[in-house]
Amino acid sequence: MARPHVVVVPYPGSGNINPVLQLAKLLHRHGVYVTFVNTEHNRRRVQATEGAGAGAVRDESYLTNGYLEKTVIDWIPGMPPICLGDFSSFLRTTNPNDFGLRFNESEANKCTTAGALILNTFDSLEADVLAALRAEYPRMYTVGPLGSLLRQNLDSAAADDSTGLSLWKQDAGCLAWLEAQEPRSVVYVNFGSHTVLTPEQLAEFAWDNLVCGGGPAVLPPDFTAATAGRCHVTAWCPQEQVLRHPAVGCFLTHSGWNSTCESVSAGVPMVCWPGFSDQYTNCKYACEVWGVGVRLDAEVRREQVAAHVREAMGSEVMRRRAAKRKEEAETATSPGGSSSENLLSMVRELSSGNNEEVKK
């Protein structure tokens, strides 16, 4: 059943606003989606009257005092209840005019003017949120995971070259190293192209017998000696091929969307350490909605890293869930699957002479 939605428009006087606001809060507590309309004049009066207290949305302490974790948003169509801290880091600002916040707002609003949206996901992975989005954007093409879909459309000779452009020289030697390892015995660690680790963080990750990208020179010397012959360190690697290798047992990741999709496609459980943008939301879904990952605290501690890696490597429940998601991704990208059919539908639409903008 669709969630009821009421628009509350009180007469703009204090004696009228307050009881109607109380009614709106009661309705919201009972599951009603509420839009409360206030006048710009009254909004400015509230700001002028309450000063700094009116914008806590302005008190820097709210970024660190637990407010992000305790504040639960339960009214977004298609999404489960989610704490404020699991949204994009672009929302973590006390400045209502923050450039990143307003830029993201502008980009989201521009999506409503696009002829269609192309999303790197597949229907069964995010069924509820995609259904909610389709109510707003009826022309939407889910064509992911793109790496899997591309491999389905290539012959076997070209399939392993499907990853495309890399801004760094990739080390194919890591694949040869993986060939010598036991099935599901390797922890693959990659925090993407933007994450910067402090020496202290690197040491905490490394001393769980894990290896972080950047080359041997940045690792603690005693760690390098202690793990000789048991690890392979490289500046960059063909990630999709690594994740699909049977030797890989789990993925220690920053939870970027590309990495998340690739891990889901490979059926590899994740240990998540988000730190930027949508990584927090991706981590929330991987760990709490799909059940294929566990989340590390922001402050890295080697004991927690070790415990979470053991859980991801050893949990049969998590492995079964990851295998199920892999199967769903393969179904979606195979001929006749939802992503495959959406791709063909998009091509037909483009070929029909429709010149409307298609926005990714």
pLDDT of res. 266: 97
Model pTM? 0.78
Average pLDDT along the chain: 84
Name the residue with tokens 């709210």.
Answer: 62
Reported as a single tens digit per residue, the pLDDT across 287-322 is 999 999 999 999 989 899 999 999 999 999 999 999
pLDDT of res. 53: 45
- 120-129, 184-193, 239-248, 275-284: segment of lowest average pLDDT: 184-193
Which residues are registered as beta bridge partners of 141?
Answer: 118
What DSSP element (H or E) covers 7? strand 5-8
Give the mean model confidence (pLDDT) for residues 119-123. 96
Structure tokens at 315: 């949990």
Reported as a single tens digit per residue, the pLDDT across 140-152 is 999 999 999 998 8
pLDDT of res. 129: 95
pLDDT of res. 324: 97
30: Cα separation from own chain's centroid: 29
- Using alpha carbons only, what angle is made at residue 42 by residues 37 and 45, rounded to the nearest 5 degrees? 150
Structural domain boundaries of the chain?
A: 5-94, 167-325
pLDDT of res. 219: 64
Q: What kind of fold does domain 167-325 have according to CATH? A: Rossmann fold (3.40.50)
Q: Higher model confidence: residue 353 or residue 130?
A: 130
Distance CA(201)–CA(274), nearest Å, equals 14
Q: Higher model confidence: residue 107 or residue 223?
A: 107
Name the residue with tokens 């801290």.
Answer: 85
Angle between helices 316-333 and 302-314 (to 10 degrees): 60
Find the length of the chain.
360
pLDDT of res. 215: 46
Is pLDDT of 56 > 80? no
Reported as a single tens digit per residue, the pLDDT across 183-222 is 999 999 998 766 667 767 877 776 554 433 444 445 666 6
Give the mean model confidence (pLDDT) for residues 37-60. 68
pLDDT of res. 228: 65
CB 178 within 8 A of CB 247: yes
Q: Higher model confidence: residue 318 or residue 74?
A: 318
Q: Higher model confidence: residue 130 or residue 138?
A: 130
Reported as a single tens digit per residue, the pLDDT across 150-173 is 988 875 445 555 455 555 566 678
Distance CA(216)–CA(185), nearest Å, equals 21
160: Cα separation from own chain's centroid: 25
3-state class (DSSP) for residue 5: strand
pLDDT of res. 240: 92
